[in-house]
Structures are given as structure tokens and as C-alpha cells.
Structure 1
Amino acid sequence: MISRSICACSIKLRTIYPFFNRSTGYHSITSLDSCRKPDPLDLRNHKDWLSPTEATKIFETLKDPNSTLNVLDQLSNRKDYKPTEALYTSVINSLSKANNFDGIEQVMKRIKREKACRLSDEFFYNVIRVYGLGAGRINRVIETLFDMPGYSCWPTAKTFNFVLNLLVNTKNFDVIHEVYMSAGRLGVEIDVCCLNIMIKGLCKNGDVDAARQVFDEMPKQGCKPNVRTFSALMRGLCEVDRVNEAFSLLGKMETEGVEPDTILMNILISGLRKNGQVEESIELFNTMLLKGCEPVTSTYQEVLYALLDSRRYTEAMNLARKMSSKKMVISFSSYKLMISGFCEENLVGEIDSVLKQMIEDGFVPKLAMWKQILQCILSEKTTFEKLSLKINKICY
């Protein structure tokens, strides 16, 4: 009876725990381990054959991007290792997530050494973006661009122009010309976008005359200036107080059949205002409206400042109301200038209107502003009782 019970118990245990050992009474550890899921970071536990897509998926799903190089080393020791552009891209992106930019340099050397597959310009564009925007390694950006032919790949205008624009935005003006002159040996054809970037860079570097020279020679390069070309040059001219020269380019735009856009108009309106040509800036704004070029908040704000500069406070208030009706936020300094102007002219009613609009837009008058308003009201011989009622009316 006892023997049968033990036997039945043993069968039951084997049913519930298939790895139960009758002789020892313990589970078989080896058997249990065989049921565990393989460690995704240990490629020895993976099946005998990994397709390129499966290999790429490993890096795309890595929970710890710091293990990227370790996993790549394991993968490269397998017989089924067959790297593709997609695999390399996933490795680069994974290292980028870990901010392991030295690791990316190691991978790039491995790629050149392996020569396992052809890489496209899109791959290098991604690497350059990572170096430039992620790591801020401008030298590596330039080196990667120049080294592309060593990988049997030639940059497109898109990649070349991205590098140029990055150099302009990071103010690396000393190497821009060198990169620009490399276009020929890299097989890149200069286009309008490239010349626009050069004009922007020269203007930012304060060499507006050189920018104008590039602009004038564009037809020789077989390129026709577009609205971005004019905008870049006009901005540069306005910044060095050559506003009239910038304004005169509007005529050339018309000749070239180039329609001005909001950005260009903003540049000119701002330049004219800062140059003291208030009437011209307002006139340009009205012309802009007539031509159907819809102004944005910054356009209205520049015109508002122009009206305030010329002490045309009532017109400024009317424009501010129009802006509010269009759900545009007016700057606090604009309200401050309007109130100051109306106080100087002792126009209490207008002050009341501006204050209400200001509070509706979420601005709170500061102590100095209240002091100025009170002085204006008191100068009108208003009784303190009326003054208190006025303040309560404004605030509540």
C-alpha cells in the first residue's frame, strides 16, 4: 500500500513538475534552464541562423543602448553575420541614444574595414546629423563628409548643404569656404540652396559685400535667386544699416518674377523702422495687405512699434485692438509705451481702454505704471473719490 502511494505520488509530481527526479526528489536545474527565455544580449543562445532583418531588430529593441558594441561583437563572430545598411544604421542610432559617440567612430572604422555592403548617402546623412546635432563634433562632420568617397559613396546636394548650413549656424566661418570649394571633387553640383546658405553665412560673418557678389554671380552658376535668396541678402543689408539698398531689391524681385513672402516683408518692415523710416515701414505694411501677403503677429508687432516710435498712439491703439481681435498677443512693452504716451497727452479715456485690453490679455500693470497713471489723473483735478472709483472700475 505504501509502495503504491509513493508511486502514485511520484507520477503526480512528474505530471505537475516534468523535471522532478525520483531518485533525488529535486527538480532538474538543467531541464528548467532549457525552458527559460534566451538572454537577448547573449547571441550564443539564439537559434542557429539569424536573418539580416532579425539581426537589425536586436539593436532596434535593445533596452540598454550601452550594450550595443558588446552585442555587435557577438553578432560579428557568428557564421550568419551579414551586415546591411539597415543594421549599421540601427547600431549608429543605438549608440547615439547612449551618447556613445566614440563608439560610433569605432563602428565607422569597422564598416570601412569590413566593406560588407554598399552604403547610401542617406546613411551618411544620418551619421553626420548625429555628429553635428547630437554630439556637436563639427570636425567629425567635416571629416565624414570628405571621407564618403572612401566608402564608395558620394554625397548628394542634400547632405552637402546640410553640412554647410550647420557650419553657418554654429558660426564656423573659417571652414565654410573650404567645404564649399570641395563640391567639385565630391561630385556635388552647386544649387540655389547652396548659394543661399553661402549668402546667409557671409552676412552673418559681416561680409555683406561678398554676399552681394555671390548674389550677382548666381546667373553664372546657372541658378536663379528665389525668395529665400532675397530674404537672406536683405536681412544682411538691414543689419548693417543699408536698408535703402535692401528696399531697392524689391524692384529686382519683381523683374525676376519672385513673389515676396511674410518673412521677407518682416525683414524690410523691421529694417525700415529701426532706420527711423517709420512712414515707409507703415506704407510697406499696407502694400503687403493689398498684395494678399497675410501678415503674422511679428509683422503687426513691428508696425505697432513703428506707430509708437512716431508717437501715433491712437493709431497704435486701433492696431492693437485689431491684433486682439485676431487672437494675437501684444507685447507688454507695447502696452507700456501706449499708456506712457496717453499719460503725456492727458488722455484719460484712452488710458482706461488700454488698461482694460492689457488686463484681458493677461498682463498686470506694475507699480511705476500705476504711479504714472495716477499722476495723469490727478493732473486733471480728479477728486480722490472719483479716482478710487476709476481704479476699482479698471481692476474689477
Structure 2
Amino acid sequence: MISPILCRVVPLKPTLLRLLSPFSTTPHSDAAILARLKHRDWLTPKEATTLLTSLTDPSSTLSFFNLYTCRKDFDPTEPFCTTLVAKLAQAQHLNPLLTLHHALTLPRPQRRQFSDNFFFTLIKAYAHSFQRVDDALRTLHEMPCPPSTRTFNFVLNLLVNTRLYCAAHNLFLHAPKLGVTLDACSLNILIKGLCAQGELNAAYQLLEEFPGLGCEANARTYATLMKGLSERGRMEEAFGLLERMEGGSVDADVAVFNILIGGLRKGGRVDEGWRVLEGMMGKGVAPNGGSYNEVLCGLVEGGRFDEAKKVVERMGVEGFVPSFESYKGLVKGFCESGVVGEVEWVVRDMVGKGFVPKMGMWGKIVRCVVEREGSSGCLSVAIDSVLEDDK
């Protein structure tokens, strides 16, 4: 059990308490909770946790903590500390969080051991609220209990997402020493990092090692590798992975097909993308809005505006909404073609879908109408002058 003398460790000095105290006005409900801590009646750890959870203003957290740590019944149980970490993170109070973390790691007789769930909350706070990747990684390595695979994967993914690929690779190799059992998610994260580095051959090799590591590749595994291949224009290899999936026991989902359609679109092969979209329905996979938007963007980028309009109409029937960028491209294309009627149709459709045209788009529309009506060049120059701030 953590000794009550932690109240002298965590707050440190009265001067520090004043520096860390909130300056905002305490809400009435929070004031009542803080007043409750000044009473001499005994508080159980569960009651203290309930009071802490009830705070409405995150800035009241420090006042609560300072009052509670100086009580004789102060007992920092795991539920209390887990709630406290979440509250401190919400209030963006890093220094008190670091102080709490340090106090909980001090060697003390009969110190209460916290579970992986607490450290997962602490690591998430460091990563999401304070962008302290180093503290998140350090906490993982210093955990008194073996990290769960969930906690390990969170940090591994954090390193990959922040492009710390060498650190991610080292952490992956260090998993056995930490007592972590790797799973398919761990391997998928590493494949994502390898693909981001352009190490596609290494990613392929890792895919082959799944069985030896006691894991089975899933749709996310293949989708991650397909995305890396598609981004580098290696579409034949990406489709080879699809054939491998279909020949095995892994069912391709809509995310897999969307990656393939998007890769074809980037390569200017929008017709092939449309065939993939129609073919996936024959395989029992229903396309979603992302599937149609990939094809739609490809048509707009290729200047095939009449065909793009038909896709928009089909999306409306299917209950999907085109992206704002697609509408923007359609307006631009039809304006450049001088087809005022089609421009009006696009604007009406996008407004009906909840989009609001911006001034830059209105500028193109007005110029289109002016030019279509044969107005003078002086008027066009005046419109350009009025709308130049939004170009």
C-alpha cells in the first residue's frame, strides 16, 4: 500500500502548490465538492473517486488533489489515480501529472501495485494530451507489471505514427523482454511502418513470417500492404495480394477494395477502378461512399464531367454523399465549359446535401454566367477584383 506520506511527496512545497493552483473561478458545484473535502468526516477511497469524477471544471482538479492529499484518510487507490490522470490530462496539467507519476514509482514498503489499465491510461495521457512520446515510451519500459498486448501496441503504433521508425523497430524486438505476446495487430503496425519507409520487401517478408510467429494475417494486414504498394504505383502486386486473399481464408472487405480503387485512380486508371467497384458487389462486398468518391474524383480529375454527374446521381440513389472536393471540381469543370445549366444542377445538388459553396466557387459561377451572357470584359475584371481575396 502507498503510504499516506505521499501527501508530502506529491504536493512538494506550498510555493509549488500556489504556482500550480488554478486561477479560474471555481464553479458552484465544484466549490461544494471542494468544501466537502474540508470536513473532518472520513472519506472512503470510493467516495473520493466519486467526488473527483463529479468535478465539472477540469481546473478544479488541482484544488481537489491538494486538499485530498493532506487528509489523514488519503488513500490513492488505482481507481482514484486513474480518474486523476484523466482529469489532469483534460485540464492540460502536465507538471502535476509528472509529479504523481514520480511519486507512484518511488520505492515504498507494502506499495500498492497498479494494473496495466492504469498505465495504459497514463500512457494515453502522455501521448494524446501532451504529445510526450518519450514519456509514453519510458512509462512502458518502467511498468512494474508486464504490459498487455493492447498497451504495447498502442505505444508501437504511436512510434510509427510519429515516424520514429527505428524506435518502433527496437521496441518490437524488445517485446519478449517486456513479457509481451505479439499478435496480428502488432505485426500489422510494423508492416505499416515498413510501408511508410518504403521497405516493401521487408513488409512482404514479415507477412510470410506470420505463421511462424503464431499469428494469422487478416484483412487489415493485406490492406496495409496493398496501400503501400498502391501509393508507389505497384498495382499488379496489390492485385496479386487480393488473389492471395481470395485463394486463402481471408475475406476482402470494402476497405481493401477502396485501396485498390484509389490506387487505380491515382494512376489515371479510373475505368478499371469502376470495374473493381462493380466487381466487388458480385463478390458480396457492398461499396460505400468512399468507393464511389474514389471513382468520382478520378472522373473529375480526368475532365470527364458528364460521366461524373451520372456517378453523383447514382450516389444519391444509393444514399451516399459526394465529397466537397468532387463538387468543387464539377463546378469548375462545367464553368470552364460554359454549361450554365449543369453548373446550376451541381450547386442545387450540393446545397441539398448540406454543403455551402464558398466565395471562390461563387466567383467561378458568376464569371461563368457573365461570360455566357456575353458581358463586357470590364465587368469580368470588376468581378475578379471583388473576389480576388478568395482566389
TM-score (norm 2): 0.75
Q: Are the equivalent residues in 2 in contact too, given 1:270–1:281 (CA < 8 A)?
A: yes
Structure 1 match to 2:61: 65
Listed as ranges, the gaps of 5+ residues in structure 1 are 1-36, 379-396
Select which of 150, 156, 177 maps to 2:148: 156
Select which of 48, 51, 69 maps to 1:55: 48
Structure 1 match to 2:205: 213
Shift of 1:185: 0.9
Please list the CA deviations of residues 265-285 of structure 1 after superposition, one character each: whole Å capped at 9, or x if unmatched.
111111012113233212111
CA distance in 1, matches of 2:249, 2:344: 46
Shift of 1:93: 2.6
Structure 2 match to 1:222: 214
Q: How does 1:30-49 map to 2 (within 5 A)?
A: 40=34, 43=37, 45-47=39-41, 49=42
CA distance in 1, matches of 2:165, 2:370: 54
Structure 1 match to 2:163: 171
Q: How does 1:232-381 map to 2 (within 5 A)?
A: 232-308=224-300, 312-325=304-317, 326-330=319-323, 331-336=326-331, 339=334, 352-353=341-342, 355-362=344-351, 366-368=362-364
CA distance in 2, matches of 1:304, 1:222: 41
Check 1:288–1:110 CA distance in 2 against 1; reply closer, same or farther (3 A cut): same
CA distance in 2, matches of 1:87, 1:368: 58
Which one has a bigger Cα radius of gyration? 1
CA distance in 2, matches of 1:208, 1:214: 10
Matched, 1:130 2:125: yes
Check 1:373–1:273 CA distance in 2 against 1; reply closer, same or farther (3 A cut): farther
Shift of 1:288: 1.4
Shift of 1:60: 2.9
Check 1:356–1:144 CA distance in 2 against 1; reply closer, same or farther (3 A cut): same
Higher relative contact order (CA 8 A, sep 6+): 2
TM-score (norm 1): 0.74
What one-letter code is carried by the residue in structure 2 that aligns with 1:53?
A: K
What one-letter code is carried by the residue in structure 2 that aligns with 1:100?
A: H
Listed as ranges, the gaps of 5+ residues in structure 2 are 1-30, 375-391
Structure 2 match to 1:186: 178
Q: Are the equivalent residues in 2 in contact too, given 1:38–1:46 (CA < 8 A)?
A: no
CA distance in 2, matches of 1:222, 1:314: 52
CA distance in 1, matches of 2:178, 2:77: 24
Q: Are the equivalent residues in 2 in contact too, given 1:202–1:210 (CA < 8 A)?
A: yes
Check 1:342–1:81 CA distance in 2 against 1; reply closer, same or farther (3 A cut): closer
Please list the CA deviations of residues 347-370 of structure 1 after superposition, one character each: whole Å capped at 9, or x if unmatched.
x6xx63453243232266645456
Structure 2 match to 1:87: 80
Q: Are the equivalent residues in 1 in contact too, given 2:289–2:320 (CA < 8 A)?
A: no
Residue range with higher mean Cα deviation, 234-243 or 316-325? 316-325
Select which of 78, 102, 112 maps to 2:95: 102
Residue range with higher mean Cα deviation, 128-137 or 91-100? 91-100
Please list the CA deviations of residues 229-259 of structure 1 after superposition, one character each: whole Å capped at 9, or x if unmatched.
0111011111122122112111111122222
Check 1:42–1:116 CA distance in 2 against 1; reply closer, same or farther (3 A cut): farther
Q: Are the equivalent residues in 1 in contact too, given 2:312–2:322 (CA < 8 A)?
A: no
Check 1:171–1:369 CA distance in 2 against 1; reply closer, same or farther (3 A cut): same
Q: Are the equivalent residues in 2 in contact too, given 1:235–1:267 (CA < 8 A)?
A: yes
What one-letter code is carried by the residue in structure 1 that aligns with 2:262?
A: S
What one-letter code is carried by the residue in structure 2 that aligns with 1:288?
A: M
